[in-house]
Amino acid sequence: MRTTSADRRSPGAFFLLSLSAAVLGLLFFALFFRIETIRQRSQVEYRALQIQSALVDVYHTGMAFNPDEWPEVSGFGMYSVHGESLFRYGSAPDSLDRTADIPLSGTQKIEGSAMTIVRRMGSAPGVRPMMQGRMRNAPMMQGRQNMPLMSGLPQYSWIEINISGSLSQSRWALFFLALFVSVFALIVLLAVYNARKLSEYRERERTSFHLVQLGEAARTLAHEIKNPLGVIRLQCATLRRTVPEDRLRNIDVIEEETARLASLSDRIREFLDNSDGTPELVHTGAILNRLRERYGDRLSVAESCGGNSLVYIDPDRLMQILDNLVSNAFDAGGSELPVLGLETSRSMLLFTVSDSGPGVAPEHRSRLFELFFTTKTKGSGIGLALAAKYAKQAGGAIAYAPRTGGGSIFTLSLPASGGTK
Distance (Å, rounded) from C-alpha 86 to C-alpha 121? 13
Distance (Å, rounded) from C-alpha 182 to C-alpha 176? 10
Torsion sign over Cα 410, 413, 414, 416: positive
CATH topology of domain 280-420: Heat Shock Protein 90 (3.30.565)
Cα radius of gyration rounded to whole Å, the chain: 46
Report phi then psi at 110, rounded to 5. Answer: -120, 125
Residues in a beta bridge with 148: none
Helical residues (DSSP H) of 225-366, grouped into ranges = 226-240, 248-272, 284-295, 315-332
DSSP secondary structure string for all residues of 27-58: HHHHHHHHHHHHHHHHHHHHHHHHHHHHHHHH
CB 65 within 8 A of CB 71: no
Note the pTM of the prediction, 2 decimals: 0.45
Between the CA atoms of 138, 141, 147 and 151, what dihedral angle is there, to the nearest 10 degrees? 50
- pLDDT digit string (tens) for the chain, length 421 residues: 444 444 445 555 656 666 676 677 677 777 777 777 777 777 777 777 888 788 888 777 777 777 777 788 888 888 888 888 888 888 889 888 887 788 877 888 888 778 888 888 764 443 333 333 333 333 333 333 334 434 457 788 898 888 776 655 566 666 676 777 777 777 877 777 788 888 888 888 887 776 666 666 666 666 667 778 778 888 888 888 888 888 888 888 888 888 877 777 776 766 666 667 788 999 888 888 888 888 888 888 876 554 678 899 988 889 989 988 998 898 888 888 899 988 887 788 999 999 998 888 889 888 888 877 887 767 677 788 888 988 998 899 999 999 988 899 999 999 988 655 5
CB 158 within 8 A of CB 77: yes
Distance (Å, rounded) from C-alpha 372 to C-alpha 379? 9
In 10 A of CB 414, how many CB atoms?
23
Q: How far is CA 91 from CA 56, 88, 95, 109, 285, in A?
A: 17, 8, 12, 15, 99
Torsion sign over Cα 37, 39, 45, 47: negative
- Going by their DSSP bridges, the two strands 309-313 and 348-355 should be labelled as unpaired
Of 317, 311, 330, the residue nearest 270 (C-alpha): 317
Q: Where in the chain is the domain with CATH 3.30.565.10?
A: 280-420
Count of CA atoms in the C-beta half-sphere (13 A) of 100: 0
In 10 A of CB 124, how many CB atoms?
17
